[in-house]
Amino acid sequence: MSSTTSGPVTSSRTAPCCNAVLPAESLAAPASALRPDGLLITITAPVPGPETLGRADVRTH
């Protein structure tokens, strides 16, 4: 018997992750959901800074 799971992918080291397609000016809402000192991975150019995200503690990559 095989089982499948759905939902966020997690590991013992990371929080659940998700994918979203948003313009840079709309990243403040998802950034607000990150844990303190969280990481937001983005392919937007230029990379949004703390003023765009509304959070100085979030790192971007």
List pLDDT tens digits, range 10-57: 444 555 667 878 888 888 988 999 999 999 888 888 888 999 999 999
Asked if residue 34 lies in contact with residue 40, where contact means CB atoms within 8 angstroms, the answer is: yes
More confident residue, 9 or 32: 32
Q: Side chain identity at 39, as an amino acid letter?
A: L
Cut 0.75: pTM above it? no
| Size of the chain, expressed as the number of residues it contains | 61
Token couple for 5? 């799971």
Asked whether residue 31 is assigned to any structural domain, the reply reads yes
Asked if residue 28 lies in contact with residue 53, where contact means CB atoms within 8 angstroms, the answer is: yes
Asked whether residue 8 is assigned to any structural domain, the reply reads no
Asked whether residue 2 is assigned to any structural domain, the reply reads no
Asked whether residue 16 is assigned to any structural domain, the reply reads no
Domain that holds residue 56: 24-60
Give the separation between CA 27 and CA 19, rounded to whole angstroms: 12
Q: What's the structural domain count of the chain? A: 1
Task: Give me the pLDDT at residue 10, please.
Answer: 43
